[in-house]
Amino acid sequence: MRRILIMGATSAIAEATAREFAALGDALFLVGRNPDRLTAIADDLRLRGAAQAETWVMDARELNAYPALLDEATQRLGGLDTALIAHGTLTDQIAAQASSEMMLAEFQTNALSHMVLCTELGNRFEAQGHGCIAVISSVAGDRGRQSNYVYGSAKAAVTAFTSGLRQRLHPKGVHVLTIKPGFVDTPMTAAFKKGPLWATPATVAKAIVKAVQRGKPVLYTPWFWWPIMQIIKNVPEAIFRKLKL
């Protein structure tokens, strides 16, 4: 049985992943901003087999609240060995490129909060000599594009940060997983037109749980995003800067 902290537990991808964990009988500590939704999700996960489903209300931007959060989770679950960091906002690029204040706020939500939580978790898991930190980044972090580079660069920070953390903690028995979903049909992307490249949260969730179980370092999900991103990453800048992506 895993004892799992889920940050951003009301996210569609996080909830689908929590259902997979619940079916395996794991114990869950669910963190988010909306208490009603957290309680409803916890009730559901208990019926789906979770050994325990606890809730904790917190805004991810409260950067100094993480040590207390981890103390609470560890105490209530009787230990902690896995974390899934899933919260995020799809940045309004037009607004964020017009205002550095807004750009910073987005970095707080989509990068700094992840990095703070990873730091706290990393140090604790290093001390206990085991653990798994799974962080949802995005294929959007693989290359900055004009249409969403504020979101993309925050995700790029998360990708680079978790890559370094993985190297540091690998010899200490701690697994760090960087998750890069492609297009997923969730409330975050409700306004987008859907096509054949779109995946369901359930599909992505299954891949995440498998990657956690197998100790995989980086997960592109669905898998076909790996070749797509290899191509996009390798377009020379001289050409890339002329594209309208």
Partner 1 sequence: MSRQAFSWGRLPAPEQRLIKLASRFDALPTTTESLLPYGLGRSYGDSCLNSGGVLVGTRGLDRYIAFDRDSGVIEVEAGVSLGEIIELTLPQGWFPAALPGTRFVTVGGAIANDVHGKNHHRAGSFGHHLLGFELLRSDGQALHCSPTANAELFAATIGGLGLTGLIRRASLQLQRVPGPWISGSSERFGSLAEFFALSAEAETASAYTVAWIDSSATGANTGRGIFIRGNHAEGPNSTATPKGIRLPITPPQSLINPLTLAAFNALYYWRPAAVARDALWHWQPFFHPLDAVQEWNRIYGPRGFYQYQCVVPMQDAETVIGEMLQRIAESRLGSFLVVLKTFGSMAARGMMSFPRPGATLAIDFPNRGAPTLALLDALDALTMAADGAVYPAKDARMSPTAFRQYFPQWQAFARHVDPRFSSSFWRRVTETEVT
Ligand X SMILES: NC(=O)c1ccc[n+]([C@@H]2O[C@H](COP(=O)([O-])OP(=O)(O)OC[C@H]3O[C@@H](n4cnc5c(N)ncnc54)[C@H](OP(=O)(O)O)[C@@H]3O)[C@@H](O)[C@H]2O)c1
Judged by the rule CB under 8 A, the positions of this chain that interact with partner 1 are: 10, 12, 34, 36-37, 40-41, 43-44, 47-48, 187, 190
Among 5, 6, 13, 80, binds ligand X (CB under 6 A): 13
41 binds, among partner 1, ligand X, none (CB under 5 to 8 A by kind): partner 1
Q: How far apart are CA 212 and CA 210, in angstroms?
A: 5
User: Distance between CA atoms of 57 and 42, rounded to whole angstroms?
Assistant: 13
Going through 90-136 in order, the beta strands assigned E by DSSP cover 131-136
What is the C-alpha to C-alpha distance for residues 50 and 170, in angstroms, rounded to an integer? 28
Considering the complex, what minimum distance in angstroms separates the CB of residue 202 from ligand X? 12
Residue 108 DSSP label = I
Q: State the binding partner of 189 from ligand X, partner 1, none, CB within 5 to 8 A by kind.
A: ligand X
Query: x/- site string to ligand X, residues 144 to 183, per CB under 6 A?
Result: -------------------------------------x-x
CB closer to ligand X, 32 vs 131: 32
Q: Taking CB under 6 A as the rule, does residue 141 contact ligand X?
A: no
Phi-psi label, residue 62: left if phi above 0, alpha if psi -120 to 50, beta otherwise: beta
Place of tokens 């208490």: 35
Q: Which is nearer to partner 1, 21 or 161 (CB)?
A: 21
Whether 2 contacts 21, CB under 8 Å? yes
| List 187, 223, 224, 227, residue binding ligand X (CB under 6 A) | 187
- Token pair 């690029």 is at which residue? 93
Using alpha carbons, list the distances in angstroms from residue 29 to 15, 127, 129, 174, 216.
12, 21, 21, 20, 23
Query: Residue 83 Cβ, how far from ligand X at the closest point, in Å?
Result: 14
Q: Which does 93 bind (CB under 5 to 8 A by kind): ligand X, partner 1, none?
A: none
Helix, coil or strand: residue 150: helix
Which of 17, 91, 109, 159 binds ligand X (CB under 6 A)? It is 109
Positions that interact with ligand X (CB under 6 A) = 8, 10-13, 32-34, 59-61, 86-89, 109, 136, 138, 181, 183-184, 186-189
